[in-house]
Structure 1
Amino acid sequence: MTESVERRRAIDAATKLYLEGKPLDMSSLASSLGIGRATLYRHVGNRDELLATVLAEATQRTYRKAISASSGVGPALILDALERFLHAVDRSKPLRALTQREPAVFIRLALMPGAIEEVSARMVAEILAEQTSQGHLELALPAQVMAEAIVRICDVHLYAPLLGGDRAEIDTALDLVAILLGQPRVHAT
């Protein structure tokens, strides 16, 4: 099914607000698009659905950038891509603005099954399957199952500050993923 022009316009306008660190107000968004709120809701669903779409697209862009910049093969490539992704998300000013303004909404959207988790798992599953098919990686579980586990491990550790921790625990997440991939990380002493 192709996306409607109106839906795309609304998502793009919401994305612009997100990237500028501004809150997403559905009434203001509808007004800026020259449509009514009911029409906006018909095109994009409710506010949480629209915000989840914006964040899922940002997640996909960030994964693609991290994967394309990564090097190595097998577990090394996957860990490099994940490390780049996790640090990019941790440094994201728009995401920081959103999580400071609406931590409970973000936790609900990012840590519960939905658009963001689906995109993350799909991106990780693709790189796992690619490395497996090229003979650089052997998985104990199907790529999709492994990807879902990796995403959940990374999310809990990346968003630790929102869950009561002091800071993102990126190294811990990467250490756990490395163990899952059968290649524990070596840390400089």
Structure 2
Amino acid sequence: MSRGEAMRDRTVAAIIDSAAVIMATQGDGASMSRIADAAGVGRATLYRYFPSREALLRAMAAQSVEELAARIADADLEGIPAGAAIARLARGFIAVGSKYTVLTTAGIQRSGEHPDIDARLVEPIRALFRRGAADGSLRADLPADVMADLFSGLIRAALQLTADGRAGVEEASAAVVSVFLDGARAGGPP
């Protein structure tokens, strides 16, 4: 990587990280000037990399996918018991989701920029739920895609708790794991 490319990557990362922090506290209405100031760049530089707020939000969405995929890859989902893997997933999703909370409020939708998003983010979760059902640590009467949808719903609720300031990442993650596993363990309530 050339020196120029490295500098560009650092600048883009600084802008995205600053935008995430500013927008998490000030909402979607945070000014581009404020984001540029927080990133330590001028407005012209910000607009050179991200010509519009929508372009910046799309870049944030792409970065959130990359961060989630890295968390999943680092979680060693196949090498640990299902309950521990679910705890790692919850913590990773809530930590990353809390950082990029504005993406939910701004209504950013999944785009074609990550055609492999299912393989990178969804399929590892489904595989974990299939493994848990097969080894008896999770209910076998619910398909993996249903379990993934239910888990996702709890994650969304936990993200709202963190966005509202009613829970931190650790507390929200523990709540998701507790509620999900108490209702998903083999022999759990119908």
Using the size of structure 1 for normalisation, the TM-score is 0.56
Cα contact 2:15–2:46 (8 A) shared by 1:
no
Q: How far apart, in 2, do the equivalents of 1:18 and 1:184 lie? A: 49
CA displacement, residues 3-29 of structure 1 (integer Å, 9 cap, x when unaligned): xxxxxx9xx66873378x333769635
**Amino acid of the structure 1 residue aligned with 2:135:** H
1:58 Cα deviation (Å)?
0.5
Unaligned runs of 5+ in 1: 1-8
Shift of 1:52: 1.0
What do you get for the CA RMSD once the two structures are aligned?
Answer: 4.3
Say whether residues 1:46 and 2:55 are aligned partners: yes
Unaligned runs of 5+ in 2: 1-5, 20-34, 37-42
Over 3 Å counting, the alpha-carbon distance change for 1:29 and 1:145 in structure 2 is: farther
Tell me how many residue pairs correspond in the alignment.
152
**Which residue number corresponds to residue 148 of structure 1?**
149
Instruction: Give runs of ≥4 in structure 1 deviating > 4 Å.
Output: 12-15, 24-27, 88-92, 115-120
Q: In the alignment, is residue 83 of structure 1 matched against residue 87 of structure 2? A: yes
Does residue 179 (structure 1) correspond to residue 182 (structure 2)? The answer is yes
Identity %: 11
* Cα 1:59–1:18 shift into 2, 3 Å: farther
What amino acid is the match of 2:18? K
Q: CA shift at 1:144, angstroms?
A: 1.4
Q: Equivalents in 2 of 1:130, 1:15: separation in Å? A: 39
TM-score computed with the length of structure 2 as normaliser: 0.56
Contact 1:153–1:173 (CA under 8 A) maintained in structure 2? yes
1:90-109 → structure 2 map (5 Å cutoff): 98=99, 103=101, 105-108=102-105
